[in-house]
Amino acid sequence: MAEYQEIRGVAKYIRMSPYKVRLVVDLVRGKRVDEAINILSVTPKAAAREVIKAINAAAANATNNYGLDRENLYITTIMADEGPRLKRVKAGARGRYKPILKRMTHITVGVTERTEE
């Protein structure tokens, strides 16, 4: 491969904790795109659907914008970063309140074409 070119796909503001998404993201880091989607399609986690969408976005960007072959695409970087938090409150005892943080996640997927040699 003469030149290292990473194409990104991003899914932002996913209403899910980054910790839960990272459990799913770690399953597919470094794998082929089609193999990763097969793994995630049988993963019983809600985050798997959102990670599939981000991987498909990166693969679509690579094929449509750069003309790369989908069969040769590998996931080089995949991250689940924390987004903004929605701050809510719940009534507590003695007139107090208990804070509730509803977390969001930004999923970033980087793919590159790798030919088998």
Could you tell me the domains of the chain? 7-113 (3.90.470.10)
In this prediction, residue 114 has a pLDDT band, given cuts at 50, 70 and 90, of confident
Encode burial over 63-85: b for 16+ CB neighbours within 10 A, e otherwise.
beeeebeeebbebbebbbeebee
Q: What is the pLDDT of residues 8-57, one digit of tens each?
A: 999 999 999 999 999 999 999 999 999 999 999 999 999 999 999 999 99
pTM: 0.88
Are 36 and 24 in contact by the 8 Å Cβ rule? The answer is no
At 2 the pLDDT is 45
At 116 the pLDDT is 66
At 1 the pLDDT is 43
At 5 the pLDDT is 84
